[in-house]
Each structure stands twice: as C-alpha cells, then as structure tokens.
Structure 1
Amino acid sequence: MLLDHFDYEKLLVPLNLFYDLHTGGPRRPIFHDVAATRPELLELDRNFSAIREEVLNVLPERASIPRYHELDAMQTYISGTVDKDRDWKVFPLNLMGVKPKGFADRCPRTVAILDTIPGLFEAFFSILEGGKSIPAHEGPYRGYLRYHLGLVVPEENPPSIRLKDQVYTWKEGESILFDDSWDHEVYNSCTQDRVILIVDIRRPMPQPFDAVNRAAQAIMKPIYGGQIARKLATMTPPATDGDAPAMAEEKQTDDKEKASEELAKKLPDQADPVQEWGQREATGKAPATAGHSAHGDKKPDAPE
C-alpha cells in the first residue's frame, strides 16, 4: 500500500515547532511527574506484579517476538546497527488503537488497564538482550510523553538510559515519564535481559495545541498503526495460551524420561525408576520479586 512507503515523520517537523510555543522548546523539561502529569498511568504501577507475570509468561517464546527494526523499518539505526549479535525485541500491545492478534491477547490484564488510559499512542514490552546498547537518537514527535515501568531488571550492573545530560537506572516496579524527543541512549553492559513496559501517551497541552495534537494522532493512526498492523499480520505470533500447556507437558515428559534413564543406569537393582519418578511432585522456582514493589501513588525521586 502507498501508506507503507510514506515517511510520516515529515509531518511532524512543523508540528514540533508549533508545540514548542507551549513546551518551551530548548527549555522544555526532560522528566515529568507521573502523578501530576498523567495520573492514569499510576494504575500500571499499582498492577506491576500482574503485568510482570504476563510478560514472564511470553518470554519463553521470544524466538517469535520481532526485533524492533523488523516491525518498524525506521528503527533500523537504533535497533539493528549497534551490537548486531544482540537483540532488541518488542512485544506490541496497542498501536494507535490496534491490538495485534496473537500478541495483545496473551496479556489480557495489561491490555485491559491500557484500555482505560485516554490519549494512548502505543504500548509495548521492550525486551533488551544482555549486552545490547541503543545508540543516541531523538524521538520524532513532541506530541507525546514516554512512560517506562521496570519489569525485569538485572540486579548486577543494571542498564541505564541517558536523557540529555541526566542518567536514570531502571528499577523493578519503578516508573518514569519523560520527553523522548530529547537526545537519549541506553548503556547496557550487563549479561541478562532487561524488560520494561513502554507507553507513549498524549502530552497534556492547552488549546489550540491539544486540538492539533488530537488531529495529528487521528491522521497517524492509519499511517503508522496500520502499517505496523499489516507487518505483524505476516509474522507468526508467539504460542497461544492453549499451546503453552501442551509445550510444558511435552517438556515435562521428556525430562521425566531422561531422569528415568539416568536412574536406571545408576540403580539397576532398585525399584522401577519411572514409577519412583511419577510419585514425585514437580517443583518450580517462581521469579523473585521480594524487595521490589510498585510505588503506587508515590513517585520516585526524579533525576536532577
């Protein structure tokens, strides 16, 4: 389609200059207080544990989760040029009102909360592989603010983001709201994955700026949202919830068979190892969340 080859960012340059009459242009703030600016986002903070559980359930199928530049070719520079042997993957939840089938339905609780937030541009889980950094760049549009909620953050040598002249290190259960049209980059030398929820939400502005911003969002919906939705339609989504139990059961059966064979070799004169194994209860280790909690209505100290 023609829209697939349209560079929508060309529309944004004059809009940004117009918004700067309100935002302050080069004097506009980097960080914004979540509670004071967009308090609706705090519902995500309060549901940190449920959101984290949903993303942990889809991470085992990460092979079918697209890399950012596979989903949006305009992100090739920041996603596919630095640390090429490492991945920056995105799990889309809402793209200009489009909820990608096979993705959004895997995280019903998260999507339900997002549905209550007005002015949503897009929302996705950002999965950054250990050792994958993101080069310096600027977001294309000043009509939205970007929200981050830390979901899985390595305790040892956690990655951080530089925004203009300030640096923030992600923490599980902690959120920030910022203007990503400022120059920013991600430093990441850890060995484990970092997972956050990213939400782009309409920037609160008085009239006539807000009316123009709403109109621009309506125009971008079929251009950007539709383009990404068509790209997703050609991809194989992660396994559904119905497939997951079958995969887990198959793996459990294989593990039992391997363990039985090993026991049979070690204990040839003992009782049937298959029967002995079957009498045991499988145990699993839940992801540790002790010591981390969403701050609810309390906003963490913003970097200064």
Structure 2
Amino acid sequence: MKWALLLLFIASAVYVHLRGRVRHRFGRQLLDHSTFMAPVNVLMYAFSRVPNTAYLDDPGRHFPELAPLREHWQDIRAEALRLRELQHIKAADGYNDVGFNSFFRRGWKRFYLKWYDDAHPSAAELCPRTTALLRGIPSVKAAMFTELPPGGELRPHRDPFAGSLRLHLGLDTPNDDGCYIDVDGIRYSWRDGEWTMFDETFIHGARNETQQNRIILFCDVERPMKYRWAQWLNRFVARHLVAAGASPNMEGDKTGGINRVFKYFYALRLKAKGLRERNQRLYYGLKYLAVILVVALIAWI
C-alpha cells in the first residue's frame, strides 16, 4: 500500500509539472509548494465542473452569482481609491503574510477584504459597500484590493492549491497592454470595469511597464466540483489549511495560525539565503537531501 501511495504521489507531481505550456525548471518544481499538494490538486482537476484551462472564458456564464461585482464596479472602485489615498493598500507591516511575502519586494501591495471567513473588521469599516457585495456571494472565499505600481512585477509562480479560481476585476488601471498578467504564456491586459478569470495553479506572473498605477479587485472563487465528496474535500482543505493563511490589514484583524509562526520560519529562511550566497552548491545539496529524506521516510513508514 505504501509503495502504491508513493507512486501515486510521484505521478501526481509529474502531472502537475508537465501541465500547461510553461513550466518551472525541474529542480525548482521539485521544491515548489505545489508539488506537495499535487495529489489533492489532481483530484480537483479530475472532478472540476468547469474547464481545466488557463483562462476561463466568460466568468459570468460559469459563475452568474458574480454579476453584482461587475455591475457595481464603480462603487467598488471608489472605495479602493479612497483606501489608496489613506495609504491602506500596502505591504504587510511585518512577517505575517506568508502567501504573498515575496511579492512585496517588487512593489505589489494589498488590502484584504476577506480571507476564507467574513470580512476583516478593518474592511467592514472602510469598505462597507464592497464587503456587503461580497457577503452576498458565498462562493467568493477570499478577496482583496491589489496594487501594482509603475515598474512593479510579480515573478512567474504557481499557487499551491487548486480549490479555487482567480477573478481579477479592473478598477483603476492604465488601460494599456504594457500592464498585464501572463498565465501559461497567454497575456491579459487589465481594463477598467472588465474582468478575467484564470486557474492560478498554472504558472503566472505580472508586470506594469507603464507610468500609471494599477488597482484591481482580486477574488478567489471556489471551484465547483462534480460530486459532493469532492466539494467536501475542497472545503475541508480550504477551511483547515488555506484559511490559516489569514493576514491582517491592521490591528484587530484576524491573523491565521500559519502567519503567527511565519516570523520564526522567516528567520531560518534568512539564514538559508545567507548560506546560498556563500555556497550555492551546499545550499541546493541540502535542499535536495531534505526532499530525498522526506520521500525515504514516507517509503519507510
């Protein structure tokens, strides 16, 4: 049984690596967090009620409940612009946003509206219209305003869990092809009042090569599944793992368990980066050895 499970894990990881036209180098994918989620993600793909494509054409057709967001995009935009004036769309104040920590170094900023729960208290107070709209759409599990300033970028990456699809609604954008997201090699340029939906477990990255700022509404929408057991699994993982990544906008907002301990892991990460700068061969050797030991432990058990 254990060998069957090990082979299943390896097959799932290989499928995740080969999925799509754009791929990480094998060494990077081996250590990527999506590799460890591969068996669960393969089930999400296999029993998804929506197509497993990089972009999902016409989000409103697959998710009609999202229509109020597009209909009231100007109201949402007004609250986002007010937040920007108050400088509340920003990087995390400390090491308490493990999911997006690496993005902050290249200009990306955010203000959480909700994260697998009801609205953050700060969001309910500062964005009453937007949070009210989101409250009426239970399939939206997470939402935030995100900003990408001129020259900002997100390096190519893939998200770890396939239980959701990502919606981007343009609010205050350059309306220019120089400000874009690239998902599996296909570019989409944001426009005010327009939206796109994509599978964030395909490799994707973004750049703003214009001289204007970009603000969008960013939502994670629950992936609909063909069977109740698959929907239950999706929600179980979201509730017990993804929800632990909650990050605060300000004091009084919820901080998930993963983010409460992230600062300690980040201290170790800084030491690991120091080792990489001093001796890359030793650094990568130790990382690969750790993976081999984990696989060997699974085989031994």
TM-score range, shorter chain: 0.5 to 0.7
* 1:227-277 alpha-carbon deviations (Å, 9 max, x no partner): x24x84379xxxxxxxxxxxxxxxxxxxxxxxxxxxxxxxxxxxxxxxxxx
> Amino acid of the residue matched to residue 76 of structure 2?
I
SS in 2 for 1:103: helix
Of 168, 172, 185, which residue of structure 2 is paired with 1:165? 185
Query: Given the superposition, is the C-alpha separation of residues 10 and 220 from structure 1 closer, same or farther in structure 2, using an over 3 Å criterion?
Result: farther
> Amino acid of the residue matched to residue 186 of structure 2?
Q
What is the deviation of 1:79? 3.2
Q: What does 1:1-304 correspond to in 2, within 5 Å?
A: 12-23=37-48, 28-32=52-56, 33-62=58-87, 64-67=88-91, 71-80=96-105, 83=106, 87-155=107-175, 158-207=178-227, 208-220=229-241, 223-225=244-246, 228-229=247-248, 232-233=250-251
What is the deviation of 1:11? 7.1
Task: State the alpha-carbon separation in 2 of the partners of residues 29 and 156 from structure 1.
Answer: 25
What is the deviation of 1:30? 1.3
Task: Please tell me whether the aligned partners of residues 71 and 232 of structure 1 are also in contact (alpha carbons under 8 angstroms).
Answer: no
SS in 1 for 2:86: helix
* 1:69-109 alpha-carbon deviations (Å, 9 max, x no partner): 855134233332xx4xxx21101111111422223321111
Task: State the alpha-carbon separation in 1 of the partners of residues 195 and 95 from structure 2.
Answer: 27
Unaligned runs of 5+ in 2: 1-32, 254-301
What is the deviation of 1:153? 0.8
Task: State the alpha-carbon separation in 1 of the partners of residues 242 and 185 from structure 2.
Answer: 33
Task: State the alpha-carbon separation in 2 of the partners of residues 19 and 143 from structure 1.
Answer: 6
TM-score, length-scaled by structure 2: 0.65
Query: Given the superposition, is the C-alpha separation of residues 36 and 153 from structure 1 closer, same or farther in structure 2, using an over 3 Å criterion?
Result: same
Task: Please tell me whether the aligned partners of residues 158 and 170 of structure 1 are also in contact (alpha carbons under 8 angstroms).
Answer: no
Unaligned runs of 5+ in 1: 1-7, 236-304
What is the deviation of 1:134? 0.9
Task: Please tell me whether the aligned partners of residues 162 and 184 of structure 1 are also in contact (alpha carbons under 8 angstroms).
Answer: yes
> Amino acid of the residue matched to residue 20 of structure 1?
Y
Rg: which structure is higher?
1
Task: Please tell me whether the aligned partners of residues 92 and 104 of structure 1 are also in contact (alpha carbons under 8 angstroms).
Answer: no
Task: Please tell me whether the aligned partners of residues 88 and 126 of structure 1 are also in contact (alpha carbons under 8 angstroms).
Answer: yes
Task: Please tell me whether the aligned partners of residues 99 and 245 of structure 2 are also in contact (alpha carbons under 8 angstroms).
Answer: no
> Amino acid of the residue matched to residue 52 of structure 2?
R
Task: Please tell me whether the aligned partners of residues 48 and 226 of structure 2 are also in contact (alpha carbons under 8 angstroms).
Answer: no
Query: Given the superposition, is the C-alpha separation of residues 138 and 232 from structure 1 closer, same or farther in structure 2, using an over 3 Å criterion?
Result: same
What is the deviation of 1:9? 7.1
After the TM superposition, which parts of structure 1 deviate over 6 Å for at least 4 consecutive aligned residues?
Answer: 8-11
Task: State the alpha-carbon separation in 2 of the partners of residues 60 and 191 from structure 1.
Answer: 18
Task: State the alpha-carbon separation in 2 of the partners of residues 152 and 66 from structure 1.
Answer: 16
TM-score, length-scaled by structure 1: 0.65
Quote the sequence identity (%): 27
> Amino acid of the residue matched to residue 136 of structure 1?
P
Query: Given the superposition, is the C-alpha separation of residues 43 and 189 from structure 1 closer, same or farther in structure 2, using an over 3 Å criterion?
Result: same
Task: Please tell me whether the aligned partners of residues 79 and 127 of structure 2 are also in contact (alpha carbons under 8 angstroms).
Answer: yes
Task: State the alpha-carbon separation in 2 of the partners of residues 144 and 192 from structure 1.
Answer: 30
Query: Given the superposition, is the C-alpha separation of residues 167 and 110 from structure 1 closer, same or farther in structure 2, using an over 3 Å criterion?
Result: same
Task: Please tell me whether the aligned partners of residues 19 and 143 of structure 1 are also in contact (alpha carbons under 8 angstroms).
Answer: yes
Please tell me the root mean square deviation across aligned C-alpha atoms, in Å.
2.7
What is the deviation of 1:128? 1.1
